Structure formats: structure tokens, C-alpha cells
Amino acid sequence: MKNKENRTERIKNPWPTKDTMEQVYEMKLWGRGKTDFYSGSGSHNPEIVNPYISVLTSFLTSFKIPLTVCDLGCGDFNVGKELVEYTKKYVAGDIVKGLIENNKKKFKEDNLEFLCLDIAVDDLPSGDCALLRQVLQHLSNAEVQRILSKVTDYKYVILTEHIPEGDFIPNKDIISGQGIRLKKLSGLNVLAPPFNFKVKEEKKLLTVRLIDCKGVIVTTCYKMF
């Protein structure tokens, strides 16, 4: 009977990323911060965070009419909080309910909204620009594909990924979780197979090389059709 129940649960929950990410925060697998919800060095290391905030600020302020931005995988919001003022509306979503509830208590702006959502499964909020900052790198190819099929509704998709420096075989599959493809000497390239993401324009906004970390962190803006 127990085996049958387990099989039924797997059928009901084919994308167990929510449970995995909740465990990451519960066990503090991305490091211990000042709060129970800490999204790791990718959200707190000034070498990574400051250049990103600078280039995103330049992008957002280049529009005469402010954009509605959807931060898909907002984490502990240490980065997003610096961008809200440059938007018409900022919608920040993450898969971990406790994390979102914590963010709601800490960050309050008239044009800021937090949502708990699984971006591979749930409908995405409407807006002009989607931010996916070091999110897809943690997900399986199947989940990445599901997300990419939905973000085409945005005019701009700004994707940040930690990838190997130099030539590499892209898009080796992984199990969704704490780790990324870098351990397999791989990284995401959404324009390459199996994704073949179709865009109108591609523009690299930022490349960050870290002294004590393998690979590079690349931020690319895709303009959609």
C-alpha cells in the first residue's frame, strides 16, 4: 500500500522543486545570513550584486515610461529591493512560501507585490520585463523548457547564469536543486538545443569574473518578438 501511495504522490507532483527549495532554506544550504531566509553569495556578494544593480538600473531608467518588472525567483530580495524605485510596478515571486511571507514583512512599497508561485507550473504575472537571475541554472531541462515557453509573453527577458568560462557543452541536464551545471562543466545557453529559444535581439549586459569562483556570471537581455 505504501509503495502505491508513493507512486500516486509522484504522479500528482511531477515537479518536486518546491520541496527541494524549501529544504535548501530550512537547512541553510546556501549559507547562514542574518535571517532564516538567506539566498547565498549570489544575492549578497558585492562583486556579484553591485555590478548587476548598476547595469539593471541603467536599463530600467533608459525608458521614458517605467516598466512593469516581474522578478521570477526573487530570493531574499536583497537585490530586487534596489530596483523597485525604477519601475512602474515590481512583482517579485518565489517558490518558497515562508520566504515570500518573510519578504512581505520586510519590504513594503506602493508599487511592490510579492507572490508565491512555481514558475514552471503556475501562470506568470503580466508585465513588460522578466528577470531570471541565477534561477534557471538550478532547474532541470524539462522545467527550464516549461518556463521559457511562458516568458515569451514579456517584451524583455533578462537572464543571469553562472557558466563555465570559455568553450563548454551547454545544457547538460540536472536534477533541480541546490547545485548547478557548472559541476558538469556545463551551463545554460537557452538559444542552443534542446531549448532553441527564439528571440528578436540578444544583448550581453554584464560579465562578472570572480577570483575565488570557477566560471563567470553572465547577464543577457533578450528582446522578444
- Report the DSSP beta bridge partners of residue 216: 163, 209
- The count of residues in the chain is 225
Closest CA to 61 of 92, 93, 79, 88: 88
φ/ψ of 91, rounded to 5, equals -105, 120
Contact criterion met (CB below 8 Å) for 82 and 61: no
Assessment of whether the complete model's pTM goes beyond 0.85: yes
pLDDT in tens, the chain (225 residues): 444 444 444 444 556 799 999 999 999 999 887 678 999 999 999 999 999 999 999 999 999 999 999 999 999 999 999 999 999 999 999 999 999 999 999 999 999 999 999 999 999 999 999 999 999 999 999 999 999 999 999 999 999 999 999 999 999 999 999 999 999 999 999 999 999 999 999 999 999 998 777 899 999 999 999
Cα 101 to Cα 96: distance, rounded to the nearest angstrom: 9
pLDDT score for 10: 41
Cα 30 to Cα 215: distance, rounded to the nearest angstrom: 18
Q: pLDDT, tens digit, for every residue of 102-134?
A: 999 999 999 999 999 999 999 999 999 999 999
Cα 92 to Cα 68: distance, rounded to the nearest angstrom: 11
Kindly state the helix (H) or strand (E) to which residue 148 belongs, with its residue range: helix 141-148
pLDDT score for 15: 60
Cα 181 to Cα 129: distance, rounded to the nearest angstrom: 26
Long-range contacts of 97-105 (CB under 8 A, 24+ apart): 97/22, 98/22, 98/25, 98/36, 98/37, 99/25, 99/37, 99/75, 102/35, 102/36, 102/37, 102/76, 103/37, 103/74, 103/76, 103/77
Cα 98 to Cα 218: distance, rounded to the nearest angstrom: 29
Q: Which fold has domain 2-223?
A: Rossmann fold (3.40.50)
Contact criterion met (CB below 8 Å) for 220 and 189: no
pLDDT score for 7: 44
Contact criterion met (CB below 8 Å) for 108 and 86: no
Angle between helices 17-26 and 97-106 (to 10 degrees): 60
Q: Which three cell numbers stand for residue 148?
A: 521559457
pLDDT score for 8: 40
Cα 21 to Cα 206: distance, rounded to the nearest angstrom: 27
